[in-house]
Amino acid sequence: MFSEIAAGLPDILGDFVPGAVSSDRPAWSAVPAPIRNAVIRDAEATLLKTWPIIKASDYQEFTKTGNRSRFEELYFTRRRMLNDLVLGELIEGEGRFLPAAVDGIFLIVEESGWQLPAHNAYERGGQRFPLPDAAHPVIDLFAAETAALLATVVALMRDQLDAISPQIVARIEREVQTRIFSPYVDRHFWWMGRGSERMNNWTAWITQNVLLSAFCLRTDQALRRKIVEKALGSLDAFLKDYAEDGACEEGVVYYRHAALCLHGAMAVLDEAAPGVFTHLWREPKIRNMAEYILNMHVAGRYFFNFADSSAVVEPCSVREYLFGRAVGSEPLSNFAAASRSMAEEPHLPHEWNLWYRVQELLIGPTITGPDRSFEARDAFYPGIGLFIARDERFAVAVKGGHNGESHNHNDVGSVAIYKDGQPFLIDVGVETYTAKTFSPERYEIWTMQSAFHNLPTFANVMQSEGADFVARDVETVFNPAEARISLDIAGAYPPEARVRSYRRAVTLKRGRHVEIADLHDGDLPAVLSLMVGAEPSIAAGAIDLAGLGRIALDGAGKIEVEAIDIEDARLRLSWPGRIYRLRIALVKERLTLRII
């Protein structure tokens, strides 16, 4: 799709301007006063802070202990502080924040490596080295993000920086050339794509930021052409692993680093080569990729959150709105506009990508409320086996597919249910990332195991990881009276589970209730786990969730209730301090749950 356009590129590839330059005072003065004041307050607060010191021992901690959060807090704090100072200067335009911003620029360009310790490897899944090798840079997600941040600063503030010293911009350009452009052109990194190797969000995310860096800085035409040609190949490698339905198997959080970064890359290419890429916005696959987040939304800040995603997701920003406009999706644009209105801090103070924040300040205030409300809708994504159904009270999702997906949890056949916009049966999500999360020990983590999803175990045998462990015989029905998915999940379990079939049918009987009917044929005792966020009480033939509703049971034996204390910071963003796992013994071949 992309590579075939390479032959039609113009002789001159133009610059990309990521927003109004600092000297465009009318544009920056038009930012509404409440947002202007918030940006200035953040910049003033940053002036009083001390820049974090990053030591070699901080970088080494990941390879010693597996902890990545302590180093990353230092690393990202530097970048957010620079963001705050630059935005404060763009808004105010009086030079008050420039000296501190230059301090931040030099701290960042003098770092020995821009790649995170968790990504300091030269092969996919290869050895993580304890310290960066400045002579052989690694381009990871955040090396590219760092280059894009510095390039955006230059694009918007070159004159102000040159007035202090031409060495500021010269140093940025030299470092970006050494750390990003040269290795990008001369080497192959796994995320660039090669043959049938599967890609993930890294491909679109890094490609966007390399393109942003190349076209914000005053790079020569030969380099721009080399970068664009390589980037087009990577974007094709990224797209090949999406089905035509556009579903992001990595979960809704990674949509923003995958499909939305595809949009960002295309926006840069559109400006660099006007008219050349315009027709791609109307490709059905790209539109479907754009609308994925709309279909994953439940209510408020809740989203269906299979894979490494949280149930509570930040409101949309200008990026989703612009993606909707670009692909001609009024539902997505309306959804994004409505979602943005829920943001408590529309200037994105926790975001480290400066371009995103500039877009929010300059374009965000021009977005009015949607002309008409968007309508939540049913959906089925055959590419990943994801079923979504809704009525006035219930929102139901069932995850089919297989257990070899990117950011996989062993969750084939798991169900998530919301009632009146509140979580009823939950997908717990993922804890704060550590070395173990992306290691051979991943499935020792409880949140990755099928026993902590809404799934059965057989004499404590759980689902196995890998693409061979898959749902089979999937059938779906959508009509005004009901929506139903039926699938056999026995194939997601290893032979030792001794299960011949486990047919699950999940039916939303619109305006009435949700029914889960499990039909089991196997040799070992089956126990169904149910994950809930509210404290359950057990009655005869039923489970009550205070303030939410009831699960009526037919075919259930003993029910155990296990309280799970939630201490991880990432999980606490979605759930209370305690959640619960119900373990329901199956005493018949068929277990039916009616959720009312």
Please provide the DSSP assignment of 423-469 as one string.
EEE------S--GGGGSTTGGGSGGGSGGGSS-EEETTB----EEEE
Query: Could you tell me if residue 371 is inside a domain?
Result: no
Rounded to an integer, the average pLDDT of 240-264 is: 96
Which CATH number goes with the domain that contains 489?
A: 2.70.98.70
pLDDT digits (tens, 9 = 90+) for 540-552: 899 999 889 999 9
Query: Same domain for 408 and 333?
Result: no
Are residue 468 and residue 338 in the same domain, yes or no?
Answer: no
User: What is the band of 414 on the pLDDT scale with cuts at 50, 70, 90?
Assistant: very high
Is the same domain home to 280 and 405?
no
What integer is the mean pLDDT of 336-359? 93
**pLDDT, tens digit, 9 for 90 and up, residues 87-140:** 999 999 999 999 999 999 999 999 999 999 999 999 998 999 999 999 999 999
Of 366, 398, 423, the residue that ends a domain is 366
393 CB-contact burial (10 Å; exposed 0-12 / middle 13-18 / buried 19+): middle
pLDDT value of position 127: 94
pTM of the model: 0.95
8 A C-beta contact, residue 344 and residue 300: no
Average pLDDT, rounded, for the chain: 96
pLDDT at residue 373, rounded to an integer: 66
What pLDDT is stored for residue 375 in this prediction? 76
Q: Assign 442 a pLDDT band (cuts: 50, 70, 90).
A: very high
CA distance 337 to 372: 11
Window from 167-176, 249-258, 372-381, 489-498 with minimum mean pLDDT: 372-381
**Higher-pLDDT residue of 583, 343:** 583
Residue 78, domain extent: 3-366
Domains in the chain, number: 2
Last-in-domain residue among 307, 338, 366:
366
CATH number for the domain including 320? 1.50.10.100
Give the model confidence (pLDDT) of 363-407 as tens digits.
Answer: 999 998 776 666 778 999 999 999 999 999 999 999 999 999 999
- Please give the Cα distance from 341 to 344 (Å, whole number): 8
On whether residue 373 sits in a domain, the answer given is no
Per-residue pLDDT at 583 exceeds 70: yes
Amino acid 372: pLDDT = 63
Of 329, 344, 366, at which residue does a domain stop? 366
Per-residue pLDDT tens over the stretch 146-161: 999 999 999 999 999 9
Its sign, for the CA torsion 295, 296, 299, 304, is positive
